[in-house]
């Protein structure tokens, strides 16, 4: 079990054994069906699995050999890019971006 991306989060397993933040590897008996669940941390979003699983739902693997899964967590960052020859500023609501000075800000997922 690996993490990727610039965000943070945890992955847990059923049956228990993986609590990735701290314990990202576990041995399971052959034929065990393991369900991995990703939970994004603050200011992060879970963007998907790679390796033995794909998509953004639960990752289910049957232990018939060694398996490798990566969970990707990214930050929910809004970046404003100004183009053109004019001048001006861009501000955000909720506060955080005041582009002239600060053109990038992380927000909680779902913020509009």
* Residue range of the domain that includes 82: 77-112
| 62 and 11 part of one domain | yes
64 plus 32 within the same structural domain: yes
pLDDT of residue 110 exceeding 90: no
Q: What is the DSSP secondary structure assignment for residue 27, as one 8-state letter?
A: -
Summarize the confidence of residues 91-105 as an average pLDDT: 90
Q: Does the predicted model carry a pTM greater than 0.85?
A: no
Total domains in the fold of the chain: 2
Distance CA 48, CA 41 (A): 14
Q: How confident is the model at residue 1 (pLDDT cuts 50, 70, 90)?
A: low
β-bridge partners, 54 = none
For residue range 58-89, what is the model confidence (pLDDT) as tens digits?
Answer: 999 999 999 999 999 988 788 999 898 988 89
32, two tokens: 């065990």
Is the pLDDT at 19 greater than 90? The verdict is: yes
pLDDT (0 to 100) of residue 80: 93
């Amino acid at each position: 079990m690996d993490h990727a991306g610039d965000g943070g989060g945890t992955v847990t397993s059923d049956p228990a054994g993986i609590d990735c933040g701290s314990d990202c590897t576990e041995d399971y008996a052959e034929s065990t069906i393991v369900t991995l669940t990703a939970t994004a941390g603050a200011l992060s979003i879970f963007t998907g699995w790679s390796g033995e699983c794909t998509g953004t739902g639960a990752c289910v693997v049957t232990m018939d050999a060694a398996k490798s899964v990566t969970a990707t967590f990214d930050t929910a960052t809004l970046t404003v890019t100004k183009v053109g020859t004019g001048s001006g500023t861009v501000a955000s609501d909720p506060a955080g971006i005041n582009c002239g000075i600060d053109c990038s800000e992380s927000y909680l997922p779902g913020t509009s």
